[in-house]
Amino acid sequence: MLSLKTLLALKPGVLYPAHGPHIPGHEAAQAHIQNYITHRQDRENQIIEVLQAASKDPNYITTTLQGLINKFEKDALDHENYKEEFMTQIPARDGGLTPAQKKAKDEAKAKAMKGLKVDGGVRVVGLDNIVRMIYKTKDEKIVFAAKKSLTAHLEKLVREGKVKKGRGLNPVILDGEVGEAKEVEGYELVGGDAVKE
């Protein structure tokens, strides 16, 4: 962030970013740098908001992850129903499941959701869960790539004394499936609160 603010203060007339075409003109270059700073600050604020919510409500992580998983499953079912209706012109009937299949699926889902429950709640939030909550994704490729960016933000927040590393139980999700909660390295707010810049 400091290097971006330094670059902004230099008032360049043209930018040659590592990705994409060059950005000619003083105003366009200034706007591009300012947009980048704003995006970085917004992402940092999102991290702080997740950690603040976890510090105030130990069940926030579990509740939010349950909501995300439910949404992913509903979106997948809606997509399957759409494909069935498109191909057959017959309205989908609960994803084509028999009552016994639906019951088995519901029981498997209830069992999986138990893995999200963490006795005492979650205060130290694992990096994977921070990524999932900010990016709202179950795609492991996105989680992997986004962890690099969020790690840089979190290291900055640690250096600034707003966030600290810790260990704690977190729900573990892999390939969209919920596993048992495990102890992971994660992050929490220093003093339970932080002020946005």
Tens of pLDDT along 141-155? 999 999 999 999 999
pTM of the model: 0.75
Distance from C-alpha of 41 to C-alpha of 35, rounded to nearest angstrom: 10
Confidence band of 100 (pLDDT split at 50, 70, 90): confident
> Is residue 84's pLDDT more than 60?
yes
Structure tokens at 171: 């729900």
Confidence band of 96 (pLDDT split at 50, 70, 90): low
Q: Where are the domains of the chain?
A: 48-192
H-helix or E-strand spanning residue 188: strand 177-189
Closest CA to 64 of 54, 73, 55: 54
Tens of pLDDT along 113-130? 777 788 888 889 999 999
Give me the torsion for CA of 124, 126, 127, 130, rounded to 10°. Answer: -70
pLDDT given for residue 148 in this prediction: 93
- Is 128 buried (19+), middle (13-18) or exposed (0-12) by CB count in 10 A? buried
User: Could you give the percent of the chain with pLDDT greater than 90?
Assistant: 37
pLDDT given for residue 197 in this prediction: 43
Structure tokens at 14: 């043209």
pLDDT mean across residues, the chain: 84
Tens of pLDDT along 150-188? 999 999 999 999 999 999 999 888 777 777 888 999 999
